[in-house]
A = this chain, B = another copy of it.
């Protein structure tokens, strides 16, 4: 079995209002040395497949079809055999 760790981030050109709110909150708490915060998703997906190539292909398919919005998001992933 493989475990995919998928990191989804907003594309650089896309405004991140959630990150902006967190940055302002940190600033108000005294952390004035934080110029930027970007918030994305971290997904851990277990896959019952035999080999790593099949796992990578399936992760890419699932990201393209459901897990990631390619218009505004980028993603990377890692596979670990478990």
Chain A residues in contact with chain B, CB under 8 A? Answer: 7-9, 19, 22, 25-26, 29, 31, 33-49, 58, 62, 65-67
Pairs of residues from A and B, 8 with the lowest C-beta to C-beta distance, nearest first: A42-B42, A33-B48, A40-B42, A36-B46, A38-B44, A37-B45, A7-B42, A35-B46
Whether the pair B48, A44 counts as a contact (CB closer than 8 A) is no
Partner of A48, one of B19, B25, B35, B42: B35
Specify the chain B residue showing the minimal Cβ separation from A10.
B44
In the assembled complex, the Cα of A75 lies from the Cα of B37 at a distance in Å of 16
Specify which chain B residues have a CB less than 8 angstroms from the CB of A46 in the assembled complex: 34-37
Whether the pair B35, A58 counts as a contact (CB closer than 8 A) is no
